[in-house]
A and B are shown apart, each in its own frame.
Chain A
Amino acid sequence: MNKKGIVIRGLRKRYGEGETAVEALRGVDMQVAPGEVVGLVGPSGSGKSTLLKCLGAVIDPTAGYMELDGEVIFDDGWKVRDLRALRRDRIGFVFQAPYLIPFLDIVDNVALPRMLAGVPNAEARETARELLQALDMTHRIGAMPAQLSGGEQQRVAIARGLVNHPPVILADEPTAPLDTARAMAVMRILQDMARRFHTAVIVVTHDEKIIPTFRRIYHIRDGVTHEEAGEGRPLDAS
């Protein structure tokens, strides 16, 4: 059990070379267990997005060690060959804006990563419908993204992130555009899903509304993380 989830050790990322080089990450250590939702909090420019991009396998770290779901994906310059498949099969992404595909209805938006993984359309749509049901979106099935409210779109985006049952979910400010009630609803969904699918979830945020809901928080400043216990305020009371 200890081997699963997310393990990061001494992760470094330098942008550019020489005089203009920026040390965005200077030795980040992090560990997220399956089923756990941790917060990543820090001021602007502290390296949150950079860390998420490294974990999301869209940029290469400069040095350090990263492990997802028990598999080493980066070790001091060595990295997994097929990053695209890694992203598709192991990582669910949720962004600040939902970034749904505007020309697909919400079922197909959710089913798309599953279809990309080679699952037949009907089966992928079935899984998508179940997920949308679990997220209280049954009444909106068949709708296009543009017809949904912001909160509903964000739920669809979460469903898309979850559809391949990835061992890791990376959420970048997922509650920023939402009011308190909806932000809490999104957090509840992430926690429920993490428990149900044993997913390790990292939520990047500086949203004061949701910070108290984390049991563990990583503060990041100038590319270095500090772990801290959170309040772990229960969400059901909202």
Chain B
Amino acid sequence: MISLAGRDILHGWGKFLFTGLGLGLLIGVTLTMAGVYRGMLDDGRMQLDNSGADLWVVQKDTLGPYAEPSSLPDDSWRRLRTLPGVAQAAGITYLTMQVQNGKRTVRTMVVGIAPYGPGTPGWPRHLVAGRHITRGHYEAVADLGTGFRIGDRVRLRRHEYTVVGLSRRTVSSNGDPMLFIPLSDAQQAQFLKDNDAILEQRRRIAANPVLGRPTVVDAAIESQTSPHSVNAVLLRLAPGARSEEIVQTIGRWQRFTAYDRDAMGDILIGKLIATASRQIGMFLVILAFVSAAIVAFIIYTMTMDKIREIAVLKLIGTRNRTIAGMILQQALALGLIGFVVGRISAGLATPLFPKFVLLIPLDSFIGFFAVMAICTVASLASIRLALRVDPAEAIGG
């Protein structure tokens, strides 16, 4: 027996290929969407991995430092460092800022890293160019995504920083590229108010009758303008240390909350990304429906065009199964063309996206079977139509 589906496709290959191409672009969008989602997950995971931390210590009862604001004294690390099982501790600040790069404004996450050298939690682990920060002030390491090059000058608030090193895939869970600067500079940028605000505040405090004496006024001003806070303290544990015990110990101190990697992953990927993934999930559902509608429509019209031939085929003794198989094979072939075109176009399109898009084989695999399932479902109406064709129609009136 010859393949009726194959011959029919070859006969009308132009229309078929064109439809397959259109479907392929739609599937490409779908795969890219899945890639965007995977990219978001990966960005979240990157932020966890890049921090190099085993435990995150944040302000009590907050989901900081990524999902909620968190602030704690910057000397907290000293006491945390003394806990049994803690190998390293370092304060860190995170501040999302718009940074000017030439004419372009780049949304970056400015990370203030403690001055204890490479390997300190929070530091970029690998540089692709240049060197780490060595001076205590006004040096920066930038992610490639910021577009900065070594030697560039970056202005953050009141100061200029020189880019001395470049890192790769150091991004926030939002996908914003990071800019690493010394902790004390970052504290200034984050917690220090600008001159006008300081003057205004100083005037208000001085006018407050409760704080009458000059020394109290000075102390109050100092306490409100001093940049002695960090957003979190990152801990690295000694080999064999039990992180749950340490988390509980820190919790019992009352002043802090600690998260281990799993818990932080939950906050970052689970909570931050949950709505985004639902959003993208909705898109995928809609695209699946649109794809199904397109395949169903094309296969249906192709079947409608063949009613007479189907009647003749039935009259000369073709099995219903053979006719159903012909239509199903055509739908699957359309899906196959669409999938191949879609996978290729997604692969070509992902580098053009501003944020990280990650195409993983699992998604292609799932996508392939989803497309095949959609095409099967989409062919059902046409198969029903074909099976209802009366062979008597071939004889006519």
What is A's interface to B at a CB cutoff of 8 Å? 49, 52-53, 56, 58-59, 84-85, 87-89, 93, 95-96, 99, 101-104, 108, 112-113, 115-117, 121, 144, 160, 172
Q: How far is the CA of A144 from the CA of B390 in the complex (A)?
A: 26
Q: Hey, which chain B residues are within 8 Å of A113, CB to CB?
A: 316-317
Q: Which residues of A contact B2 (CB under 8 A)?
A: 104, 108, 112, 115, 121
Does B290 make an interface contact (CB < 8 A)?
no
Is B366 interfacial (CB-CB < 8 Å)?
A: no
A160 surroundings in chain B (CB, below 8 A): 316
Report which of A102, A108, A116, A172 forms a contact with B317, defined as CB distance below 8 A.
A116
Bitwise, B114-146 to A at CB < 8 A (1) or not (0) is 000000000000000000000000000000000
With A49-B396, A103-B12 as known contacts, state yes or no: A58 contacts B309, CB within 8 Å: no
- Are B391's CB and A112's CB within 8 A? no
Docked complex Cα distance between A117 and B319 (Å): 11
A96 CA to B308 CA in the complex, in Å? 13
Q: List 27 A-B contacts (CB under 8 A).
A: A49-B397, A52-B395, A53-B392, A53-B395, A56-B395, A58-B391, A84-B314, A85-B317, A89-B317, A95-B312, A95-B396, A96-B396, A99-B308, A99-B394, A101-B309, A101-B313, A103-B7, A103-B8, A103-B10, A103-B11, A108-B7, A112-B316, A113-B316, A115-B1, A115-B2, A121-B2, A144-B11
**Beta-carbon contacts of B3-16 to A below 8 Å, as 1s and 0s?**
01001101110000
List 9 A-B pairs, minimum CB-CB distance, nearest first. Answer: A88-B317, A103-B11, A58-B392, A103-B8, A99-B312, A103-B7, A58-B391, A113-B316, A87-B317
Tell yes or no: B226 within 8 A of A by CB: no
Contacts of B319 in A (CB 8 A): 84, 116
> Which A residues touch B224, using CB under 8 A?
none
Expressed in whole angstroms, the Cα–Cα distance for A117 and B308 within the complex equals 21
Q: Bound complex: CA of A84 vs CA of B323, how far in Å?
A: 13
Annotate B262-282 by CB proximity to A: 1 below 8 A, 0 otherwise. Answer: 000000000000000000000
- B315 is an interface residue with CB less than 8 A from chain A: yes
Inter-chain contact A56/B7, CB cutoff 8 Å: no
Distance in angstroms between the alpha carbons of A85 and B318 in the assembled complex: 9
A residues less than 8 Å from B313 (CB atoms): 101
Is B318 a contact partner of A116 (Cβ separation < 8 A)? Answer: yes
Question: Chain B residues in contact with chain A, CB under 8 A?
Answer: 1-2, 4, 7-8, 10-12, 308-309, 312-319, 322, 390-392, 394-397
Please tell me if the beta carbons of B8 and A84 are within 8 angstroms of each other in the complex: no
With a CB–CB cut-off of 8 A, which chain B residues contact A59?
A: 392
- Contact between chains at B317 and A84 (CB < 8 Å): yes
B394 touches A93 (CB 8 A): yes
B396 contacts A101, C-beta separation under 8 Å: no
Q: Name the A residues within 8 Å of B308 (CB-CB).
A: 99
A9 to B: closest C-beta gap in Å: 22
In the assembled complex, the Cα of A78 lies from the Cα of B348 at a distance in Å of: 65
Complex CA–CA separation, A103 to B305 (angstroms): 12
Indicate if the CB atoms of A58 and B317 lie closer than 8 Å.
no
Report which of A53, A102, A103, A121 forms a contact with B1, defined as CB distance below 8 A. A121
The answer to whether A58 touches B315, judged by C-beta atoms less than 8 angstroms apart, is: yes
Write the nearest CB–CB distance from A67 to chain B, whole angstroms.
20
Closest to B392 in A: A58
Instruction: Return the chain B residue nearest A56 by Cβ.
Output: B395
Nearest chain A residue, comparing its CB with the CB of B322: A116
Indicate the member of A108, A112, A117 with the most B CB atoms within 10 Å.
A112
Q: Which residues of the partner chain B approach A117 to less than 8 Å between Cβ atoms?
A: 317
Measured in the bound complex, the distance between the Cα atoms of B11 and A52 in whole Å is 32
Whether A116 and B1, one on each chain, are in contact in the complex, defined by CB atoms closer than 8 angstroms, is yes
Inter-chain CA distance A106–B396, complex, in Å, is 23
Q: Which B residues lie within 8 Å of A104 (CB)?
A: 2, 7
Most buried by B among A101, A112, A116, A117: A101
B30 to chain A, nearest CB (A): 31
Interfacial chain A residues near B312, Cβ < 8 Å: 93, 95, 99, 101
Distance between B315 CB and nearest chain A CB, rounded to angstroms = 6
- In the bound complex, CA of A78 to CA of B322 (Å): 28
Name the residue of chain A whose CB is nearest to the CB of B9. A103
Partner of A58, one of B8, B322, B390: B390
What residue of chain B has the Cβ atom nearest to residue A104's Cβ?
A: B7
CA distance A163 to B95 in the complex (A): 83
Q: Report how far A102 CA is from B308 CA in the complex, Å.
A: 11
Q: How far is the CB of A89 from chain B (nearest CB, A)?
A: 7
Q: Are A87 and B12 in contact (CB under 8 A)?
A: no
Among B315, B318, B394, the one with the most A-chain Cβ atoms within 10 Å of its Cβ is: B315
Residues of B within 8 A of A108 (CB): 2, 7
Check B316–A87 contact: CB distance below 8 A.
Answer: yes
**A116 and B309: CB pair below 8 A?**
no
- Chain A residues whose CB sits within 8 angstroms of the CB of B395 once the complex forms: 49, 52-53, 56, 58, 93, 95, 172
Is A99 a contact of B309 with CB atoms below 8 Å?
Answer: yes
How far, in Å, is B345 (CB) from chain A's closest CB? 29
Q: Which B residue sits closest to A204, measured CB to CB?
A: B395
Give the residue name and chain of the B residue nearest to A96 (CB).
B396
- CA A88 to CA B312, docked complex, whole Å: 11
User: Contacts of A116 on B, CB cut-off 8 Å?
Assistant: 1, 316-319, 322
Cα separation A59 to B394 with both chains bound (whole Å) = 12
Inter-chain CA distance A160–B308, complex, in Å, is 16
Chain A residues near B4 (CB, 8 Å)?
A: 101, 103
Question: Which A residue's beta carbon lies closest to that of B393?
Answer: A58
Say how far A214's CB is from chain B's closest CB, in angstroms. 21
